[in-house]
C-alpha cells in the first residue's frame, strides 16, 4: 500500500519533507517511525489524514501520515 509521509521540523534533516512510499499492508505509524530511525521520545503529535492519531493504529492505502517533533522551550 502507498502512504504519504510528511515530516516536520528537524525530522526533515537527512530525511525528506514529504514522500509517498510503499509499505506492507497493516503497517502502523510506529513501524514507519522506527523505519525512519526517529527516536520515539522526540515525537510530539502523530497525525493521519489531518487528524490526531496513535502510533499503533493501522494505516490504509492512500493515508497521509504526518510526524511532528516535540517542542518544550519557552
Partner 1 sequence: MELRQFLQTSAVGDLVPWAVQTDAAKRYDLTVAEVEEAILEQGLMPARYQRNRQTIAAGMQLRLFRSRVVVIGSGGLGGYIIEELARLGVGHLVVVDPDVFEEHNLNRQILSSPLHLGMPKVDVAAARVREINPAVTITPLKVSFSTANGREILEGADAVVDGLDSITSRRELVTLCREMAIPLVHGAIGGWYGQVATQLPGDDISPNIFGLQPESKGVEAQLGNPSFTPATVASLQVAETCKVLLGEGESLRHRVLFVNLLNMEFEEVRMDSALG
Task: Rank residues 3 and 33 by Cβ distance to partner 1 and give the closer one.
Answer: 33
CA-CA distance, 3 to 65, in Å (whole number)?
A: 7
How many CA atoms within 13 Å lie on the side-chain side of 40? 8
Coil, helix or strand for 19? strand
Q: Which is nearer to partner 1, 2 or 12 (CB)?
A: 12
Nearest residue (CB) to partner 1, 1 versus 47? 47
Interacting residues with partner 1 (CB under 8 A): 8-10, 17, 40-47, 50-52, 55, 66, 68-74
CB of 19 to partner 1, least distance (A): 16
Amino acid at each position: 500500500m502507498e502512504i504519504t509521509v510528511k515530516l516536520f521540523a528537524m525530522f526533515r534533516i537527512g530525511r525528506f519533507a514529504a514522500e509517498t512510499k510503499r509499505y506492507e499492508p497493516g503497517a502502523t505509524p510506529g513501524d514507519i517511525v522506527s523505519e525512519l530511525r526517529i527516536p520515539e521520545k522526540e515525537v510530539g503529535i502523530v497525525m493521519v489524514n489531518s487528524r490526531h492519531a496513535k502510533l499503533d493504529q493501522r494505516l490504509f492505502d492512500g493515508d497521509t501520515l504526518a510526524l511532528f517533533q516535540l517542542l518544550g522551550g519557552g
